[in-house]
Amino acid sequence: MTDTSLLNAADLHKTFKVSSHNHSARTLTAVDGVSLHLSAGETLGIAGESGCGKSTLAKIMAGLLAPDSGSMLYKGTPLSQLGKDAGTVFRRKTQMIFQDPFSSLNPRMRIGDSISEPLKIAGVAPTLQRAELSRLMEAVGLPEDAANRFPDEFSGGQRQRIGIARALASSPEILIADEPVSSLDISIQAQIINILLQMKQDFALSMMIVSHNLLVLRHICDRTIIMYLGTIVECGPASELFRRCRHPYTEALIAAIPGLGHTAAKGELLHDDLPSALSIPPGCRFHPRCRYAIDRCRHEVPLLKEYAPGHSAACHLSNTLYS
Ligand code: SF4
């Protein structure tokens, strides 16, 4: 079978040193043995609670953060071996959109200049830059006179449109969006999601969307990955994963969303809060919160196993609970 993966990550690990109140250094495990791929043309969702490592993973996939270990391949070539020219192509072709687009915009730069900056860097002629700027602004629904204004003159939704237009100016083939709508009002969220879907089609993009909002991911993703404390606990086609999940953590997340047809509050199926990534529980790291946990779960790490084509889960009891 031909490998159509644009990005392929194997056994990624990433930790951070943090100092505690008594100034001793402790290790925070953000990503712990994660393998995944992004295929050409697909939309991949990454879900999980805050602190599960999904944003760190997104930055590694975008090449903005180096993993401690593990491999990252772009079209089959390790990032570390891309060389200068191919490395430049990778950075241009892989663009990231952040939760707070304001932080990635220069507050003293007019947004027309911000959006066209990648064009300028790429050496595009000024007349073509202006034409492309108009095209991009129209594509994301920004009025033409917005080009002369500054970032602080825009609402959150408009700033996200600016962020998307700026990312598209690099002619990317991969768009990685980290919580692109979580700080926006519900009505604006739908507009931004629709723009992303339209841009995916118009610009032939592959997308990775990080979100704690499962409704958003169910709506737009081909595949979804569920992360818990730095690891993947479930991964599968979105249509199947939301209809027939195979992991108690996914079950609890889905059950907390009335819009998915379930009514349980999150606390009913999830005991306690997410443990600290400074102190990962032994065995199945979900066991302190799992209502199905048995003794084996407390000392034996469950492996990610495939239960249906492309649908994997890491739970000792997956077959028993979800047969
Ligand atoms: Fe729950 Fe055990 Fe499965 Fe972990 S391995 S999710 S603790 S049943």
- 3-class DSSP string for the chain: CCCCEEEEEEEEEEEEEEECCCCCEEEEEEEEEEEEEEECCCEEEEECCCCCCHHHHHHHHCCCCCCCEEEEEECCEEHHHCHHHHHHHHHHHEEEECCCHHHHCCCCCCHHHHHHHHHHHCCCCHHHHHHHHHHHHHHCCCCHHHHHCCHHHCCHHHHHHHHHHHHHCCCCCEEEEECCCCCCCHHHHHHHHHHHHHHHHHCCCEEEEECCCHHHHHHHCCEEEEEECCEEEEEEEHHHHHHCCCCHHHHHHHHCCHHHCCCCCHHHHCCCCCCCCCCCCCCCCCHHHCCCCCHHHHCCCCCCEEEECCEEECCCCHHHHCC
What pLDDT score was predicted for residue 265?
A: 57
* Atom 7 (ligand 1) nearest CA: 287
pLDDT 10s digits, 202-250? 999 999 999 988 988 998 999 999 999 999 999 999 999 999 999 999 9
Mean pLDDT on 296-311? 96
* Residue 173, C-beta contacts closer than 8 angstroms, at least 6 positions apart: 6, 40, 93, 94, 204, 205, 206
Cα–Cα distance, 268 to 6 (Å, whole number): 40
Counting from 1 in the atom list of ligand 1, the atom nearest the Cα of 302 is: 5
Q: If you measure from the C-alpha of residue 296 to the centroid of ligand 1, how many angstroms do you get, rounded to a whole number?
A: 9
For a pocket test of ligand 1, which of 231, 294, 304 has the largest count of ligand atoms closer than 8 A to its C-beta?
294
Three-class HEC string of 27-69: EEEEEEEEEEEEECCCEEEEECCCCCCHHHHHHHHCCCCCCCE
Q: If you measure from the C-alpha of residue 282 to the centroid of ligand 1, how many angstroms do you get, rounded to a whole number?
A: 12
Mean pLDDT on 112-137? 93
Counting from 1 in the atom list of ligand 1, the atom nearest the Cα of 290 is: 1
For a pocket test of ligand 1, which of 316, 321, 323 has the largest count of ligand atoms closer than 8 A to its C-beta?
316
Q: If you measure from the C-alpha of residue 315 to the centroid of ligand 1, how many angstroms do you get, rounded to a whole number?
A: 5
Q: Which domains does the chain have, with CATH numbers?
A: 5-18+28-321 (3.40.50.300)
Counting from 1 in the atom list of ligand 1, the atom nearest the Cα of 316 is: 5
Q: If you measure from the C-alpha of residue 70 to the centroid of ligand 1, how many angstroms do you get, rounded to a whole number?
A: 26
Which two three-digit tokens encode residue 182? 């979580």
Counting from 1 in the atom list of ligand 1, the atom nearest the Cα of 291 is: 1
pLDDT > 70 in the chain, percent: 94
For a pocket test of ligand 1, which of 229, 247, 287 has the largest count of ligand atoms closer than 8 A to its C-beta?
287
Phi, psi of 19 (to 5 degrees): -95, 140
Global pTM reads 0.92
Q: If you measure from the C-alpha of residue 91 to the centroid of ligand 1, how many angstroms do you get, rounded to a whole number?
A: 39
Q: How confident is the model at residue 273 (pLDDT cuts 50, 70, 90)?
A: confident
For a pocket test of ligand 1, which of 286, 300, 319 has the largest count of ligand atoms closer than 8 A to its C-beta?
286
Q: If you measure from the C-alpha of residue 300 to the centroid of ligand 1, how many angstroms do you get, rounded to a whole number?
A: 10
Counting from 1 in the atom list of ligand 1, the atom nearest the Cα of 297 is: 2
What pLDDT score was predicted for residue 102?
A: 76
Mean pLDDT on 149-177? 93
Cα–Cα distance, 40 to 36 (Å, whole number): 14
Q: If you measure from the C-alpha of residue 279 to the centroid of ligand 1, how many angstroms do you get, rounded to a whole number?
A: 18
Give the relative orientation of helices 126-139 and 156-168 as an angle to the nearest 10 degrees. Answer: 130
Mean pLDDT for the chain overall: 90
